[in-house]
């Protein structure tokens, strides 16, 4: 199993916790997905009313490692401040770093992302940056102290799958020793299997499970797809070819006159 900042996860499936129909369905989905990590967005609580406390208790009771994120942040300062608050709330130095630069696609701002990653790693955080499939940006993030990269498959919540196979393959080839996680855009289990077949180390999924007609069954489907995709990658799949190749050879067969 791949190590993420020295930690071995129980599964290569990371699951988001937003938009589920109910807390009970969320809990069942996490269990059936056998998720190795759950991601959570920080919500600012009222000190008096303790809004959101029941949600935190639910997440803790699941017994799954938590990866807080800076979802919705659009600047370095906002992302760094949110990360620092998340560390206090969740008691972890892991942070999924999101700095959004474009509103329609929710594309990451790679310039701000690198700067925020640098500041957070200097502050002791273990940063999981949500990024585009950009080789130069990836190199800058690694120099900033990141040990994991999380390129998008497609825009968040779009369900389009892996839009840039060339870019994702290039990232895997250029950084063979770096843990890579496809994050965002995955819509169906076959997309997750495809990411794993490319040699990625994990996938992070939220909307495709939470918004399914049956989130629990979809979580199970993704769990199986991730496992199947990884097994296929390890098994070294055959290469595609343009011409047919008979599976049954003609040599040695009887010739009927």
Whole-structure pTM value: 0.89
pLDDT digits (tens, 9 = 90+) for 31-49: 999 999 999 987 544 344 4
What's the mean pLDDT in 210-216?
96
Q: Which residues contact 161 (CB under 8 A, 6 or more apart)?
A: 153, 154, 185, 186, 187, 188, 190, 191, 194
Q: What angle do CA 19, 25, 26 make, to 5 degrees?
A: 55
Whole-number pLDDT of residue 49: 46
pLDDT at position 50 over 90: no
**Binding-site annotation: residue ranges:** 157, 184-185, 206-207
**Binding-site annotation: residue ranges for 1-deoxy-D-xylulose 5-phosphate:** 157, 184-185, 206-207
**What gap in Å lies between CA 231 and CA 14, rounded to an integer?**
17
The residue from 96, 126, 160, 211 that is catalytic is 96
96 in active site: yes
What's the CATH number of domain 9-233, 3.20.20.70, 3.30.565.10, 2.40.170.20, 3.40.605.10? 3.20.20.70
What's the mean pLDDT in 81-90?
92
Whole-number pLDDT of residue 54: 78
| Domain boundary assignment for the chain | 9-233
């Amino acid at each position: 199993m791949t190590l993420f900042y020295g930690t071995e996860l129980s599964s290569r499936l990371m699951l988001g916790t937003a938009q589920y129909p109910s807390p009970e369905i969320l809990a069942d989905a996490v269990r059936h997905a056998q998720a190795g990590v759950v991601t959570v967005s920080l919500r600012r609580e009222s000190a008096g009313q303790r809004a959101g406390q029941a949600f935190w208790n639910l997440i803790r009771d699941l017994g799954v490692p938590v990866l807080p994120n800076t979802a919705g942040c659009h600047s370095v300062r906002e992302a760094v401040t949110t990360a620092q608050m998340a560390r206090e709330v969740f008691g972890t130095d892991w942070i999924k770093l999101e700095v959004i630069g474009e509103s329609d696609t929710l594309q990451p701002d790679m310039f701000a992302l690198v700067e925020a990653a640098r500041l957070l790693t200097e502050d002791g955080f273990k940063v999981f940056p949500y990024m585009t499939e950009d080789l130069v940006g990836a190199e800058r993030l690694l120099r900033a102290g990141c040990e994991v990269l999380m390129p998008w498959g497609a825009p968040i919540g779009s369900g389009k799958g892996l839009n840039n196979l060339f870019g994702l393959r290039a990232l895997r080839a250029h950084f063979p020793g770096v843990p890579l996680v496809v994050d965002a855009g995955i819509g169906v289990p076959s997309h997750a299997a495809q990411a794993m077949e490319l040699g990625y180390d994990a996938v992070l999924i939220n909307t495709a499970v939470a918004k399914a007609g049956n989130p629990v069954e979809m979580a199970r489907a993704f769990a199986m797809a991730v496992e199947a995709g990884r097994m296929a990658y390890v098994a070294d799949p055959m290469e595609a070819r343009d011409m047919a190749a008979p599976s049954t050879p003609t040599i040695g067969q009887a010739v009927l006159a």
